[in-house]
Amino acid sequence: METTLIILKPDAVQRGLMGQIIDRLERKGLRFVGLKLMQVPRDLAERHYAEHKGKPFYDGLIKFITTSPVLVMAIRGVDAVAVCRNLIGATNGRKAAAGTIRGDFGMSAAFNMVHGSDSAASAQRELALWFKPEELHDFTPAREGWVYDPSDLK
């Protein structure tokens, strides 16, 4: 099992897409172990996007993520990072494959609705920024026995 960070950005929240995006993740069989709607403080945005500091788009990115509430989610599943990134789709919604979140709902590279951790290491770092340990809940939904073949969990 792997846990990853997914953020529904201001454009997804403002467009009323939270429920549809959550539905796709949940129907895939992923487990939500932490969720919170929050206004992102500037210092948290800067820590989250520290690797982009100095790049031409950095200031706009910080301004964007802090303009409106976001929905922050900790999601667990087998290969959760890769599974979520496949569901999210390519960064530019115009180029993302149909059937992906960005491919079905997006028309922009900048307003791309969703952040997903890009590796297990990034997920660990990002989850620690956004969630306190007591905000993450370790449980196994009853349906999970119908999501994975037992050999998937070895």
Residue 32 has phi, psi (to 5 degrees) of -85, 120
Q: Distance between CA 128 and CA 53 in Å, rounded?
A: 20
Sorted by sequence, the CB contacts under 8 Å of residue 17 that are 6+ apart come out as: 8, 105, 113
Tokens at residue 71, please?
């929905």
Residue 115 catalytic?
yes
Q: Angle, to 10 degrees, between the axis of helix 80-88 and the axis of helix 120-130? A: 90
H or E segment and range at residue 25: helix 18-28
Contact 78/152 with Cβ under 8 angstroms?
yes
Among the options 48, 52, 115, 137, which is catalytic? 115
Task: Give φ, ψ of 73 to 5 degrees.
Answer: -135, 135
What is the set of active-site residues?
115
